[in-house]
Each structure stands twice: as structure tokens, then as C-alpha cells.
Amino acid sequence: MTVDLFDVDAMVGPVATTADVAEDVSALLTRMDRLRIAETIVVHTHAWRHDVAAGNRLAVEQVDGHERLHPGWVVLPDTCGEVPPPAEFVGAAVRHGVAAFRACPVDHGYDLLGPDMAGALTELEAYGRPLLLDSDQVPWPQVDVLAGRHPRLAVVVTHTGYRTVRPMAGVLARHDNVYVDLSYLGTHQVLEWLVERFGPGRVLFGTGQPHRDPADAVARLLWSDLDDDAVAAIGAGNLRRLVTGGVPA
């Protein structure tokens, strides 16, 4: 059997703190083949730690011609003119087939819930593609507020770690539009616990590379106690629904 895997959480490009990265999409595709990952949403590291607009352009350029890869963009407030106004930014994303967005408010020095991002979040919600947030960028109480303000926006919390189930479970119970990925859903048996509690629709397959070893998430899902239908949903089905504009589960 082959489990269909669609990675919501990957970056390509250099990283200052490690050489263990996929420098380009060719290297990324090699890693994907080895781990039998069918498709990946790709954010370019330049959009994270160099120049957001240029990095977003690189994501589009690098995945061009690769059917298995889809661009992911990093969002910013438009207060300094680094990115176009929200409607224009999201319009460009639509034209380029951007499959998901990522916000890094700690690394990029802004308030995700403040007035400077309100317009962008409204536009993202209307476009209907997921917004990824690393747990070290947006604490759970902020995820709680964000998901309540934007109930049609799929909020995907990545790299959740192994010490955060208490707040995570509360937010997942209150908001059907919040998801977690497998990049580091680290607590023992918590994937099975979440599926039993919330169903298989709230977890997405994501590797978190290059920050995480992509083999981690593959082993975690395939060796889970879940039945094949749940594994299929988490491996790819949930994300396919979200990136085609499907409503949150």
C-alpha cells in the first residue's frame, strides 16, 4: 500500500543555523522521493529571514514546472510598503496559485492581532487557503482569538512540541477552523488521542523541514494506531480539501 502524503509545512533555501537543508527544489524532490511524499507546499527561506516579497517571488519561480510542488507565501502587514495592500497581495497569490500562507509575527516584529494585520487576515479568510503559524510565533491564546475572529480561515499551528496539549486541546475544542500539523506533534500518543477526541479532520501531514527531520513525521503517521482511512485523511485528504478552497472541517 502507498499512503498519499501531502506536506503542508516545508521550506526550501538556505538557513543560517544549519547546512542540513534542501537548498533548492531539486534537493527537496530527492528528499520527497526517499520518503514517498507526493506533494509539498513550499515556502522559500528568503521570505522568512531575508526579504519577504523577494522570497515569495522565489517560491513561485522555484516550483514553476513542478506539479508536485505548490508555492507558499509569507504574509506581512503592508504598513511600510514592503508588500502590496491586502487585496492586491491576495490577488497576486490567487494568480500564482499560492496554496498556503505563513505568518511569523515574532521573527518579523509585528502584532498578528493588531489593526495592521486586520485587512490581510480578512482577505486571506476570503481567499480560503490555510494560514500556518509556528507555535513559537503565536501563543495558543492568540490562536484562540484569531480563530474566533476569522471562523472561515483555516489556522494551522505547526511545530506544537510535546508540552502544549492542555492549551491546544482547549483551542481545538472551541474552534473547528484550527488544525495542527505533524511536524512535531510530539507528545506520546497524542495524535491518536486527538483523533479520538476530535476526529481525523483536525491534523495535517507536515514535515517542518528543514527545522525538523522529515522522516520524523512520516514514521509518526504511518506507524500510528489509526486506521487506514484516518491516515489517508491526515496524510493528504484534509489538506487537499483546504487548498482547493474547501471549508474548514
List interacting residues with another protein (CB under 8 A): 1-3, 17-18, 20, 34-36, 161-166, 169, 184-193, 212-213, 215-220, 222-225, 228, 231
Give the chain's length: 249
Residue 145 near residue 174 (C-beta atoms within 8 A)? no
Smallest gap, in angstroms, from Cβ of residue 125 to another protein?
A: 31
Give SS3 for 12: strand
Residue closer to another protein, measured from CB, 155 or 231: 231
Give SS3 for 224: coil
Residue closer to another protein, measured from CB, 57 or 212: 212
CA distance 47 to 25: 15
Smallest gap, in angstroms, from Cβ of residue 177 to another protein?
A: 23
DSSP letter assigned to residue 201:
G
CA distance 21 to 220: 21
Residue closer to another protein, measured from CB, 10 or 99: 10
What's the farthest any 2 CA atoms get from each other in the chain? 51
Q: Which residue has the cell 488521542?
A: 193
Residue 154 near residue 242 (C-beta atoms within 8 A)? yes
Residue closer to another protein, measured from CB, 117 or 217: 217
CA distance 50 to 147: 28
Smallest gap, in angstroms, from Cβ of residue 213 to another protein?
A: 4
Smallest gap, in angstroms, from Cβ of residue 187 to another protein?
A: 6
Residue closer to another protein, measured from CB, 147 or 194: 194
Smallest gap, in angstroms, from Cβ of residue 218 to another protein?
A: 6
